[in-house]
Amino acid sequence: MKESIKKLYETVKIGRYTAKNRIFMAPMSRYRALEGDINPEITTTYYEQRATAGLIVAESTKINKSSGGINCPGIYNKEQVASWKKVTDAVHKKDGLIFLQLWHSGRASHISVQPEGYEVVAPSAIASKEPVMTYTGMQTPTLPRALTIEEIKGLRADFAQANAYALEAGFDGVEIHSAGGFLIDSFLQEPTNQRTDAYGGSLENRFRFLGEVLEDTIKVWGADRVGVKLSPVSAYNSMGEGDVLTTFKYVVSQLNTYGLAFLEINEEMPFTTLTPEKRAIINTIQALWNGVYIANGNYDAVSGTERIEQEKASAISFGRFFIANPDLVTRFKQDSPMNELDVQTFYGGDHKGYTDYPFLEESLA
């Protein structure tokens, strides 16, 4: 192993757990769930293959049937719990650690993927311009309807139930998806939250829904098994406008009071480069956080190690590298070549581009 990446192979405390390395697997939607939002058997294989990661954060998982997205797994009924239990059992047998990312799409959805009788909803009736995947191809998201107070209470209850089911499914903890322009993120950011009630306007009000979800989540897990993901400067799903620095300085100051297991920040989207101004915002937010910080976004082994050595991250979450290299931990350590990534099989399909990427010994055979 190169001296320059040794830091990646040190253990790190994640709440009540000790991760065996700092090479984490980022949550990534792969759109392979079956009818009823149930995982196929190959999903168990997929996560089991990657159990050498210090921590796996499993993909965005629906907290109710109208969360949005096609072929996304759910965690809102017992059948889904059973399909996830196979995954967690397999990962634990490999001495792995796995959290589940709890998610609602909010305005990043299309009416055609909603169950009959359901609508696309968000804090305010403000559309996203980012195309979303539907059963007939990419489409512009449907203009959402603004949620009522009663509906917000219902979503809070759905998150609470999803937490209970995730615990039953054997996960080691959960990550609350508050990034990417999805439901919670659109509550946090002023351009997408134009409400005038208790959930809009002031920083305190815009944080309220995430705070309520966290309170309920912590009742199930304890704070030391709960993480949050944010994406302060990302433009994905038409976000990242306005005074994001003020917004997320407040958000992080509030998150600091909970004693969470970690904060994961999507610092940079794939195939993009941050401007100096946006990098400065990320560094400011990172410095305000007083717990375990997981950096995500276009890192490799060397740049990830550098981020950790600069004390600007506790661990790095890798996405595309883990898709194509189930044994990424070994490949980094041996400075081995990486499998070629097949972008055509990122989303949907079967085992191809999912569980058939070769391990290093197979590549060299």
List beta partners, residue 133.
138
Structurally, the chain folds into a number of domains equal to: 1
Return the CATH number at 193.
3.20.20.70
Measured between alpha carbons, how far is 20 from 30 in angstroms, rounded to an integer?
25
**Is residue 240 a contact partner of residue 200, using CB atoms and an 8 Å limit?**
no
Q: Which amino acid is at 311?
A: E
Residues of the domain holding 161: 3-364
pLDDT of residue 364: 63
Measured between alpha carbons, how far is 9 from 12 in angstroms, rounded to an integer?
9
Measured between alpha carbons, how far is 318 from 339 in angstroms, rounded to an integer?
15
Nearest to 139 by CA among 107, 106, 117, 112: 112
pLDDT band at residue 272 using 50, 70 and 90 as cut-offs:
confident
Long-range contact set of residues 358-361: C-beta below 8 Å, sequence gap at least 24: 359/49, 359/326, 359/327, 360/327, 360/330, 360/331, 360/334, 360/336
The pTM for the full model equals 0.97
Measured between alpha carbons, how far is 84 from 232 in angstroms, rounded to an integer?
30
> Helix or strand or coil: residue 270?
coil
**Residue found by looking up tokens 């010994």 in the block:** 361
Stretch among 67-71, 186-190, 361-365 having the lowest mean pLDDT: 361-365
- Hey, what's the torsion of the CAs at 165, 166, 169, 172, to 10 degrees? -150
> Percent of the chain having pLDDT more than 70?
99
Average pLDDT of the residues of the chain: 96
The stretch 87-110 carries a mean pLDDT of 98
**Is residue 42 a contact partner of residue 336, using CB atoms and an 8 Å limit?**
no
**Is residue 70 a contact partner of residue 110, using CB atoms and an 8 Å limit?**
no
pLDDT of residue 361: 82
Q: Does 271 have pLDDT greater than 80?
A: no
Q: Does 4 have pLDDT greater than 90?
A: no
CA triple 174-85-166, angle to 5 deg: 30
Q: Does 36 have pLDDT greater than 70?
A: yes
The stretch 203-207 carries a mean pLDDT of 98
- Hey, what's the torsion of the CAs at 244, 245, 250, 252, to 10 degrees? 100
Residues whose CB is less than 8 angstroms from the CB of residue 350 and which lie 6 or more positions away in sequence, other chains included? 32, 42
The stretch 240-254 carries a mean pLDDT of 96
The stretch 135-163 carries a mean pLDDT of 97
pLDDT band at residue 365 using 50, 70 and 90 as cut-offs:
low
pLDDT band at residue 154 using 50, 70 and 90 as cut-offs:
very high
First to last CA, the chain: 22
Burial 206-243 (b: 16+ CB within 10 A, else e): bbbbbebbbebbbebbebbbbbbbbbbbbebbbbbeee
pLDDT band at residue 153 using 50, 70 and 90 as cut-offs:
very high
C-alpha of 217 from chain center? 16
**Is residue 241 a contact partner of residue 231, using CB atoms and an 8 Å limit?**
no
pLDDT of residue 37: 97
Measured between alpha carbons, how far is 187 from 13 in angstroms, rounded to an integer?
30
**Is residue 47 a contact partner of residue 90, using CB atoms and an 8 Å limit?**
yes
Q: Does 363 have pLDDT greater than 70?
A: no
